[in-house]
Amino acid sequence: MKITFIAADGTTTEVEAKEGDSVMHTAVQNDVDGIIGECGGSMMCATCHCYVDEAWAAAVGGQEDGESDLLDCAASEVKPTSRLSCQIRLRRELDGLVIHLPESQL
Protein backbone atom coordinates (compact mmCIF):
# COMPACT_ATOMS: atom_id res chain seq x y z
CA MET A 1 0.00 0.00 0.00
CA LYS A 2 1.04 3.59 -0.51
CA ILE A 3 1.00 6.78 1.56
CA THR A 4 1.68 10.27 0.32
CA PHE A 5 3.22 12.88 2.60
CA ILE A 6 2.91 16.52 1.66
CA ALA A 7 5.31 18.82 3.48
CA ALA A 8 4.46 22.35 4.60
CA ASP A 9 6.39 23.71 1.61
CA GLY A 10 4.44 21.50 -0.78
CA THR A 11 7.09 18.83 -1.35
CA THR A 12 5.38 15.51 -2.00
CA THR A 13 6.81 12.13 -1.07
CA GLU A 14 5.09 8.87 -1.90
CA VAL A 15 6.23 5.85 0.08
CA GLU A 16 5.49 2.16 0.22
CA ALA A 17 3.82 1.29 3.53
CA LYS A 18 2.99 -1.88 5.43
CA GLU A 19 -0.40 -2.74 6.77
CA GLY A 20 -0.34 -2.70 10.57
CA ASP A 21 2.42 -0.09 10.83
CA SER A 22 1.65 3.36 12.14
CA VAL A 23 1.85 6.41 9.93
CA MET A 24 4.63 7.76 12.19
CA HIS A 25 6.64 4.56 11.80
CA THR A 26 6.17 4.59 8.03
CA ALA A 27 7.41 8.17 7.81
CA VAL A 28 10.44 7.56 10.02
CA GLN A 29 11.36 4.34 8.20
CA ASN A 30 11.26 6.16 4.88
CA ASP A 31 13.22 9.18 6.09
CA VAL A 32 10.34 11.55 5.52
CA ASP A 33 11.35 14.90 7.00
CA GLY A 34 8.70 16.53 9.08
CA ILE A 35 7.78 13.63 11.35
CA ILE A 36 10.15 12.98 14.23
CA GLY A 37 8.34 10.51 16.48
CA GLU A 38 10.79 11.02 19.28
CA CYS A 39 8.99 8.86 21.85
CA GLY A 40 8.60 5.94 19.48
CA GLY A 41 4.82 6.08 19.48
CA SER A 42 4.17 6.14 23.23
CA MET A 43 2.03 9.28 23.08
CA MET A 44 4.58 11.22 25.09
CA CYS A 45 6.26 13.64 22.74
CA ALA A 46 3.85 15.20 20.23
CA THR A 47 6.61 15.30 17.60
CA CYS A 48 4.59 13.14 15.20
CA HIS A 49 1.82 15.68 14.67
CA CYS A 50 0.18 15.54 11.22
CA TYR A 51 -2.92 16.73 9.39
CA VAL A 52 -5.03 14.10 7.70
CA ASP A 53 -6.12 15.16 4.23
CA GLU A 54 -9.78 16.27 4.32
CA ALA A 55 -10.76 13.56 1.85
CA TRP A 56 -9.36 10.91 4.20
CA ALA A 57 -10.47 12.33 7.53
CA ALA A 58 -13.54 10.14 7.84
CA ALA A 59 -11.76 6.94 6.88
CA VAL A 60 -8.94 7.58 9.35
CA GLY A 61 -11.22 8.58 12.17
CA GLY A 62 -10.91 11.08 14.99
CA GLN A 63 -8.48 11.48 17.82
CA GLU A 64 -8.06 8.65 20.29
CA ASP A 65 -8.38 9.05 24.05
CA GLY A 66 -5.61 11.22 25.43
CA GLU A 67 -4.50 12.36 22.01
CA SER A 68 -6.00 15.83 22.21
CA ASP A 69 -4.27 16.58 25.52
CA LEU A 70 -0.96 15.87 23.92
CA LEU A 71 -1.81 17.67 20.70
CA ASP A 72 -2.14 20.79 22.84
CA CYS A 73 1.60 20.42 23.19
CA ALA A 74 2.33 20.30 19.50
CA ALA A 75 4.59 22.99 18.15
CA SER A 76 2.46 23.87 15.11
CA GLU A 77 -1.15 24.94 14.89
CA VAL A 78 -3.67 22.27 15.82
CA LYS A 79 -6.57 21.90 13.35
CA PRO A 80 -9.68 19.73 13.34
CA THR A 81 -7.80 17.26 11.11
CA SER A 82 -4.80 17.09 13.47
CA ARG A 83 -3.72 13.65 14.61
CA LEU A 84 -0.72 12.11 16.27
CA SER A 85 0.56 10.00 13.40
CA CYS A 86 1.82 7.33 15.80
CA GLN A 87 -1.81 6.64 16.68
CA ILE A 88 -2.93 6.01 13.10
CA ARG A 89 -2.60 2.32 12.23
CA LEU A 90 -2.60 1.44 8.57
CA ARG A 91 -5.53 -0.68 7.48
CA ARG A 92 -6.17 -1.89 3.95
CA GLU A 93 -8.83 0.82 3.45
CA LEU A 94 -6.17 3.47 3.98
CA ASP A 95 -4.21 2.52 0.87
CA GLY A 96 -3.47 5.80 -0.91
CA LEU A 97 -3.75 7.89 2.27
CA VAL A 98 -2.64 11.50 2.03
CA ILE A 99 -1.00 13.13 5.06
CA HIS A 100 -0.02 16.78 5.38
CA LEU A 101 2.94 17.73 7.54
CA PRO A 102 3.12 20.71 9.87
CA GLU A 103 5.63 23.52 9.65
CA SER A 104 7.66 22.21 12.56
CA GLN A 105 7.59 19.55 15.27
CA LEU A 106 9.86 21.12 17.88
**Rounded distance between C-alpha atoms, residue 73 and residue 86, angstroms:** 15
Which of the choices ligand FES, another protein, none does residue 71 contact, using the CB cut-off of 5 to 8 A by kind? none
Residues 6+ apart with CB under 8 A from 44: 70
31 phi/psi in degrees, rounded to 5? 60, 30
Q: In the beta sheet, which residues pair with residue 14?
A: 4
Interface with ligand FES in residues 37-96 (CB under 6 A): 37-39, 41, 43-48, 84, 86
Q: C-beta of 68: minimal distance to ligand FES in Å?
A: 12
Interface with another protein in residues 75-104 (CB under 8 A): 75
**27 forms part of the interface with another protein (CB under 8 A):** no
CA angle 75, 66, 41 (to 5 degrees): 65
Contacting residues toward another protein, per CB under 8 A: 33, 36, 38-42, 44-46, 69-70, 72-75, 106
